[in-house]
Every structure is written in structure tokens, then in C-alpha cells.
Amino acid sequence: MRLPELKSEYIWAVMMIFFLIPAIHPIGLPFPMDPVTYEVYNIIESLPEGSIVVMGGGGVFAFDLESSAGMIAMIKQMARKGLRLVTCPVWTEAPQFHKYVIDAARVDKDKYGGPWEYGVDYVLLPYMPGGDMVVFDSFLKDVHATVSVDLAGTPIDELPLMQDLHDYHDIALWICPHWGFVSVIRIVAAQYGITCISPAQSTAYAFFSPFMEAYPGKVYMLNGYVGGAQYEALVGIKGLGHKVMDSYAFASTLIVLFIVLGNITMLSRMGGEEE
């Protein structure tokens, strides 16, 4: 029996349907929990109220979206715990991403009736040029010498939160929801000894996860949407991570199916050629 030729357009069409099903009707397939995700959750949970956390780094918005699943859940947890957040963007698209995740977490008092007030509980800083590692080093040595105004152009000396943030001594935790986590490890964790967490993209996780072994207790990573979904489960929300987990399961099943089909086709053709 000869199997018909499968055009790539048909494969994409079937793939699209498999994507659409969980998007319209989320199934909520189960996924395993990672011990590191628990550790990260407990680290944030154990920070004293009022601690300052920095969300900093740089990367392309489209790819950083993968980190947003875990980051949004973390922001919700931080707001609930009464922690404070300052951003440190070192890529032109990073300020918009930081704004997006805080907005998506719906924690702002004026916009969503949440627990965070701008300037008091969180501050959005503008893009800081000069190269990520150089900026991190300068920022940790003297925040006020590195940046003078916030994203809206307000002098940071006028913002109450920035009165409590001067250098690395005031930072309890650094979270990097971007590809450039390795620069954060090199400067923030290795040089200044600040605990660093990354709700990383799955590709970045493959590259940088060995640093968790190199800096135990200082460097933590969540693995892409899977890690994001795990964190959402701990915080008690069903966001982007949960939606993508369903798609992963559907797409993976389909890919396996196509691999089997492709092999059957190849074997049937080999048999035909021999005849």
C-alpha cells in the first residue's frame, strides 16, 4: 500500500487545528512540579515585607513573552506579600516588557484597584544604554548615579521608593525575565552575591541551567512555559502557562504522529524500490 504525499500546507493546517482546540477550550492537562519552582516560590515568600526586588535585564519582547507566564505570577505573589519592585532595563524593548508584565498582573492601585501604588511600591525605570554588564555594575554600585529619571521622565529623587534604593545593599532579590540572564549571573550573583531568579525561556534554560550548579543557593531558573505553569499553580492562577501546556501536549502528540507516519512512508517506499 502506498501512502499519499503529505504536503507541508496540510501538516500546518492540522497543526493549527490542534493549537486552536486548547485555545478555545482549555483542557487543563496535568504537568509535573519541579523542586526548583518550589524553592523559588519559598524564596519570594520568605522575603520580609517592604523588601526591594529588581526586575532587570534585556531581550527581545517576542521571545521574552515566554518568561511572562512565570513573571506575572511572581509579581502577583510579590504584591500580595507587600514587596516592592524596581525595573532595570538594558535593552530597548525591555521597558515595554516590564510595563506589560506589571499591567498584566493587574496589581496597580489606580488602574485595577490592586495593592501596588506607582512610586511607592513599584517604579519603572527607562532603558539604560552602555552594555548590560557595565550598567548592572554601575546600577549596583550607585543607583542614583546610573539613572536620574523614571520611564515617564519624573526625577527618581521625587519617588518615595527610590529614597530606599541606593546600591546593592538595598536589593533583596534580582529577577531576570529575559534571555540575557547570563550577564545577570556574572555581575549580580557572582560579583555582588545577590540571589538571582530567572523565569527563563526554554532555550535560555538549556544554555544557562548549569549555572544553578555553579552557584547553588544564588541562581535559580524556571523552565519556560512549563516553569511558568508550575509557578501559576503555586500562586493559584491559571494564566498563559496553563494555556500553553495544553498546546504543548497536543502539538507533541501530533509531532510524534507525523514522525511515525513519515517513517512508515519511508519504509513503504524502500520496500517498493526493492520490488
Residues that bind other proteins (CB under 8 A): 9, 12-13, 16, 19-20, 22-26, 62-63, 65-66, 92-93, 95-96, 126-129, 131, 133-134, 137, 147-149, 153, 155, 182, 185-187, 190-191, 201-203, 205-207, 210-211, 213-216, 224-225, 240, 243-244, 247-248, 251
Question: Which CB, 155 or 160, lies closer to other proteins?
Answer: 155
Q: How far apart are CA 23 and CA 118, in angstroms?
A: 33
Tell me how far, at minimum, the Cβ of 254 lies from other proteins, in Å.
10
Question: Which CB, 118 or 205, lies closer to other proteins?
Answer: 205
Tell me how far, at minimum, the Cβ of 38 lies from other proteins, in Å.
17
88: nearest Cα among 202, 201, 187: 187
Are 225 and 251 spatial neighbours (Cβ–Cβ below 8 Å)?
A: no
Q: How far apart are CA 122 and CA 182, in angstroms?
A: 25
Distances (CA, A) of 47 to 41, 52, 175: 10, 9, 14
Are 212 and 35 spatial neighbours (Cβ–Cβ below 8 Å)?
A: no
Tell me how far, at minimum, the Cβ of 118 lies from other proteins, in Å.
17
Tell me how far, at minimum, the Cβ of 66 lies from other proteins, in Å.
5
Question: Which CB, 174 or 225, lies closer to other proteins?
Answer: 225
Question: Which CB, 32 or 48, lies closer to other proteins?
Answer: 32
Neighbouring CB atoms inside 10 A of 17's CB total 11
Question: Which CB, 131 or 160, lies closer to other proteins?
Answer: 131
Q: What share of the chain is helix, strand, coil (3-state, %, to 5)?
A: 55, 10, 30
Residue 172 three-state SS:
strand
Question: Which CB, 104 or 172, lies closer to other proteins?
Answer: 104
